[in-house]
């Protein structure tokens, strides 16, 4: 029983460390062939959006809006992939628990 408790504490520490790494990691998503780029952290916090001036057209704001949304979505996808990579091995050790807790990697 003591060994199980130690193993759980070790997994908890590893999970906290992985979450801290994710919070500081940055990933990028882009749209329009790189004309719009979004950067998010590994825990999916939007950090920045860069827009190439050539895509700015006052008569076509809708296209720019669509590109911004697409870039943010792409960055979020990259953040989820990173989270699954970093946290997946840890959450697999939880059996079916990780999925019910909404943890990535399942």
Q: Where are the domains of the chain?
A: 24-94
CATH fold group of domain 24-94: Ybab; Chain: A; (3.30.1310)
Distance of alpha carbon 52 from alpha carbon 7, whole angstroms = 50
Distance of alpha carbon 7 from alpha carbon 72, whole angstroms = 38
pTM for the full predicted model = 0.73
Distance of alpha carbon 98 from alpha carbon 106, whole angstroms = 7
Distance of alpha carbon 103 from alpha carbon 89, whole angstroms = 11
Quick: pLDDT tens for 16-74.
888 888 899 999 999 999 999 999 999 899 999 999 999 999 999 999 999 999 999 99
């Amino acid at each position: 029983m003591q060994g199980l408790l130690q193993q759980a504490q070790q997994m908890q520490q590893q999970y906290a460390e992985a979450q801290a790494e994710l919070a500081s990691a940055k990933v990028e998503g882009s749209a329009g062939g790189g004309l719009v780029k979004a950067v998010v952290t590994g825990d999916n916090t939007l950090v920045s959006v860069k827009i190439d001036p050539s895509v700015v057209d006052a008569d076509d704001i809708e296209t720019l809006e669509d590109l911004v949304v697409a870039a943010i979505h792409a960055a979020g996808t990259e953040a989820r992939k990173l989270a699954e990579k970093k946290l997946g091995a840890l959450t697999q050790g939880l059996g079916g628990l990780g999925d019910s807790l909404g943890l990535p990697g399942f």
